[in-house]
Chain A
Amino acid sequence: MIKADKLSKHFGGIKAVDEISFEVNEGETMVLLGTSGCGKTTTLKMINRLIEPTSGTVFINGKNILNQPAEELRRSIGYVLQNNGLFPHYTVAENIAIVPQLLKWDKARITQRTQELLEKLHLSQDQLHAYPGELSGGQQQRIGLARALIADPPVLLMDEPFGALDNVTRASIHKEFNALDELKKKTIIMVTHDVQEAFELGDRICIMDKGRIIQSGSPAELLFKPANSFIIDFLKEQRLQLEFKTIKLTDVWDQLPTIERKSNTSQISADEGLWTALESFRFASAENLNILNQQSKEIKTVSFDQLMTAFYQYKQHKSHG
């Protein structure tokens, strides 16, 4: 869907982005992860031509973006910014309707589509006539998302979309983000410096440093098959938590003991990550937890110790395999 080929951007003598190439498949969420100054934002902005590349090309659906008018290109790509970039002099409704206005939609269509998005993003009708300054940070960010989604663009670019939010708001928005239908079919490139966020939201992650991609792969690949010591160091601090979040119960299914179902214990789906299972132990204060495997229709009842043993066995297996 999106293909970058030897993309470079030089500012003066500095190579902000240095001949990087990547591909993002349709419906995939790819995260550009790295510290500030690694070139991730510059890379993102070259995709909707906010920054013109020094060399290299980008293809979207096989079309070279440099061969189409920049304004037309941008209207077909949703863009979400860290500080939302809402127009302070437009009401929420007007902000959301900017791209449809540019595309000359009729009024009825704009209203209908706005209503649709309001529901999906849990925004209230009353807020439509408010100005962005009157809303909370989380609400502003949702409106920023609504604005990017309204014209239903196939591609969405997100520049640190949740960077300005506090941790609690961010966690709840992450959940919504993963649950939102609108986003499931979009091809998304997201920039972040937050490792947790990258692992929670990304199907694939490109870790960048000094204008180059150091490693690109699924969260599990980055964790268990790091390309070099940079990646290991980069993920070191939050490694355990990342592993718990990345490994799903289905992954460790074979390592779990087969024990008959016990009643009066809470139950979770095996599609969840280990992290969710561990949280369930804590919140339910239960000794055992029932896990339901949707595919095999099996139920396993495990204790905390059994779960941890399975996790270590899986890890050992992974690093030797």
Chain B
Amino acid sequence: MDEQQQSLLGFMSQQADKLLSQTLEHIGLTFISLFIAVIIGVPLGILIARKRKLSGSVLGIAGILQTIPSIALLGFMIPLLGIGPKPAIVALFLYALLPIIRNTYTGISGVDVIVKEAALAMGMSKWQILKKVELPLAMPVILAGIRTATVINVGVATLASYIAAGGLGEFIFGGISLNNTNMILAGAIPAALLAIIFDFLLSRVQKLNFKKIRTGTSVLPVLMLLLASFYFIPSAYGGKFTAGFTPEFMGRQDGNLGLRSKYGLKVRTIVISDAVMYKAAYEKELDVISGYSTDGRLKAYDLVTLDDDKHIFPPYYAAPIVNESALNQFPELEHTLNILAGIITDSIMRELNYRTDYLHQSPEQVAKDFLESKNLYKAPRNGHDGIVRIGSKIFGEQYILANMYTMLIKGNTNYDVATKTGLGGTKICFDALTNKQIDLYPEYTGTGLLAIIQASPKKVSELTVDKDKTYQYVKTEFEKRYQIKWLTPIGFNNAYALMMRQKQATELRVKTISDLKKYLDRN
């Protein structure tokens, strides 16, 4: 247990290499996009200050871009630009645009007309007036815009890790997935510090007097370029064959850590959100990915799982976990939830997932169709004997399960149901359960063992050979530690798996993870 309880500083010093490269990437991403935003935003701001008719539409469009949720914007970018730094930079650039355009516009329009008239009357050309009068006088306002954009970008850049662009988000989202507070803080604290430091430095530049601001504004672009170049420092190494792993997978013993220690697998790795990972593999941006064996996209994108011949991935049998207090409050609950026990196999789950993830059917529809096909669906009774609160993590399978339980409870009991779906990762879901904000959610035995109980590596290797041992162990420990009960497993095993494109795997004759290691060692 000592390993898990190490201090934040301990974690940071242990991960110093990664922390440094993530920080550099983060600064780089922020300033590459900022630099482009300045190059485009300032002239655009000047243009609309000259042609006022355009100002409404330009500021309007920039304003709309600003309101698009950042994750959604990153999502829109992927079909256009794939994964990696390109879409991240474009998205960050779009966010930085509004404050820069708006402040340039305000700054230039705010220059005293009498001063401009004097400049004109003395025989300055339009260009000279812009360079010598308007820009210097507008500079404090423009700098305020750049400052706002910088702080926005430092914040939004944490999301870049979702699309394999790196940055401090790797630690933050990895930490949330892994229920590792040190890891979250190791990403969040430097990110916050970066925002504070850049904000402070730019506020100082803004307050310089006219003389110094002139030197300041000529140094600034150089400095921005320099900071932007930080991005390329960490990626100066690495080979051709690329793996894309989720932030969660990166930090787990039954993930990348195990791949390294047990298989000795060393591969150029980028961190990516599982939302885009499968598609990236299909589009040959990635060669091997960490997926879930029941994922519907396996089927959709023609991917094949590699055999885990050294058993590093523990079994991930899904079962509802429920607060014991809720089981007492709702006596019929356990029986009702266990209706699903043992019914859904791997292939059924993959099929159901395929329908939501790939055919884009609603999880509700998929859940209802399945229950009807098994004659388990009953019309809601609209009972009022209390409300059962069901949570789910933020991916399709959990949505489907949450919907099935909702229908079963409403159809078979007089309880009403409130769903809190899409609760980030394991940590958020589990915290909600222990804080009694939800009554139950579907969890996986492997996650319970590694992420929640955080069993020692020795214990893990002892348990993971057998799925029942794992289940019994987590069941006992959860009751003891958290007063939470594991009900009967639903049937399927949504374990981690490494996946490759079917075609490439056949060409390279890779069937197991050991095969992959041999192939990589040869090349």
Contacts and interface: CB of A to CB of B under 8 A. Distances in A.
Interface of A: 48, 50, 71-75, 77, 79, 81-90, 98-99, 102, 131, 147, 157
Nearest to B128: A102
A79 B128 CA distance: 18
Given A88-B137, A89-B210, A83 B122 contact: no
A90 B136 CA distance: 10
**Chain B binding site: helix, strand, loop or mixed by DSSP?**
helix
A99 B114 contact: no
Nearest to A75: B123
Given A72-B123, A75-B122, A83 B210 contact: no
Contacts of B115: 85-88
Contacts of A84: 118
A247 to B, nearest CB: 37
B117 A71 contact: no
Contacts of A85: 112, 114-115, 117-119, 121
Interface string B176-212: 0000000000000000000000000000000000100
B136 A89 contact: yes
Interface residues of B, number: 18
Interface of B: 112, 114-115, 117-125, 128, 132-133, 136-137, 210
A48 B210 contact: no
Given A87-B115, A89-B136, A98 B122 contact: yes
A102 B121 contact: no
B85 to A, nearest CB: 38
Nearest to A77: B121
Given A50-B117, A85-B114, A102 B123 contact: yes
Nearest to A133: B210
Given A50-B117, A87-B115, A99 B122 contact: yes
Q: Find the residue from A48, A79, A83, A89 having the highest chain B CB count within 10 A.
A: A89
28 contacts: A48-B121, A50-B120, A50-B121, A71-B124, A73-B123, A74-B121, A74-B123, A75-B122, A79-B122, A81-B114, A81-B118, A81-B121, A84-B118, A85-B114, A85-B115, A85-B121, A86-B115, A86-B118, A87-B115, A87-B119, A88-B210, A89-B137, A90-B210, A98-B119, A98-B122, A102-B122, A102-B123, A131-B210
Contacts of B128: 102
8 closest pairs, A vs B, by CB?
A: A85-B118, A75-B123, A74-B123, A79-B121, A89-B210, A85-B114, A71-B123, A89-B136
Contact of A147 (B114, B122, B136): B122
Contacts of B125: 71
A73 to B, nearest CB: 8
A149 B509 CA distance: 87
Nearest to A157: B121
Contacts of A89: 136-137, 210
Contacts of A71: 123-125
Contact of B124 (A102, A131, A147): A102
Contacts of A147: 122
A208 to B, nearest CB: 21
A84 B119 CA distance: 11
A75 B121 CA distance: 8
B196 to A, nearest CB: 29
A75 B122 CA distance: 5
Contacts of B123: 71-75, 99, 102
Given A82-B114, A87-B132, 5 more contacts: A74-B120, A74-B121, A85-B118, A102-B124, A131-B210
A50 B114 CA distance: 12
Contacts of A82: 114
Nearest to B137: A89
Nearest to A71: B123
Contacts of B137: 88-89
Nearest to A79: B121
A48 B121 CA distance: 7
Contacts of A98: 119, 122, 124
A35 B137 CA distance: 33
A99 B120 CA distance: 11
Nearest to A99: B122
A110 to B, nearest CB: 14
A45 to B, nearest CB: 8
A87 B114 CA distance: 10
A81 B117 CA distance: 9
A86 B120 CA distance: 12
Q: Find the residue from B114, B121, B128 having the highest chain A CB count within 10 A.
A: B121
A262 to B, nearest CB: 55
A81 B119 CA distance: 11
A52 B42 CA distance: 30
A79 to B, nearest CB: 4
A199 B480 CA distance: 103
Contacts of B118: 79, 81, 84-87
Contacts of A50: 117, 120-121
A206 to B, nearest CB: 21
A24 B341 CA distance: 105
